[in-house]
Amino acid sequence: MGRKRPQSDNAPNPSELRAKRLNVTRRVQWDAARAKMDDTLVTKFFDVLDSLDDPSQEQRLLAYASTTVNRVENDKDILLGRQVRDGARQGAAQTNRNCQSRHLEWQSAADELWRNDPTASKLEVAKKIADEMGEKFHTIRQVINRPASD
């Protein structure tokens, strides 16, 4: 813990006096903030708190400390969220590369079938490719595109 301040025997402890002046809500805020701060920061915080005479300034300082502690906790969550998001992006990129190569195969097969039979519908071509490659024809139909007429 932090070092204790030297005090005379008959002088009241400033921290005890301050705790008496604080209402329950502010004490709860302080306890939550203090639980998350390191000893050095707590000592500095008490020094600043002891130097304040106006209760409204104390209230603002306690609110600021509480907000700062919450912001630090949120930063950890934000960092974890970024790591998860980046991992998802990398996985999606790999999946997209795999799908893209299959889609190119389907399109080249469709182009070949349309060269042989230009009147074939998209559904007919998709069913033929599905039979050859063992895929669902609905998926293939959504991916392939008929070449533009000359």
Task: Check if the beta carbon of residue 40 is closer than 8 Å to that of residue 2.
Answer: yes
Task: Check if the beta carbon of residue 46 is closer than 8 Å to that of residue 37.
Answer: no
pLDDT at 124: 95
Instruction: Please count the other Cβ atoms lying within 10 Å of the Cβ belonging to residue 125.
Output: 23
**65 CB burial (10 A radius; 0-12, 13-18, 19+):** buried
CA triplet 46, 49, 53: central angle to 5 degrees?
150
Encoding tokens for residue 7? 């005090």
Instruction: Please count the other Cβ atoms lying within 10 Å of the Cβ belonging to residue 66.
Output: 17
Instruction: Please count the other Cβ atoms lying within 10 Å of the Cβ belonging to residue 1.
Output: 6
Query: Which residue ranges make up each domain of the chain?
Result: 14-143
C-alpha span between 93 and 99 (Å, rounded): 10
What's this model's pTM, rounded to 2 decimal places? 0.43
End-to-end Cα distance, the chain:
83
DSSP state of 22: S
pLDDT averaged per 10 residues, the chain (length 150): 54 60 57 61 71 73 68 66 83 87 94 94 95 92 85
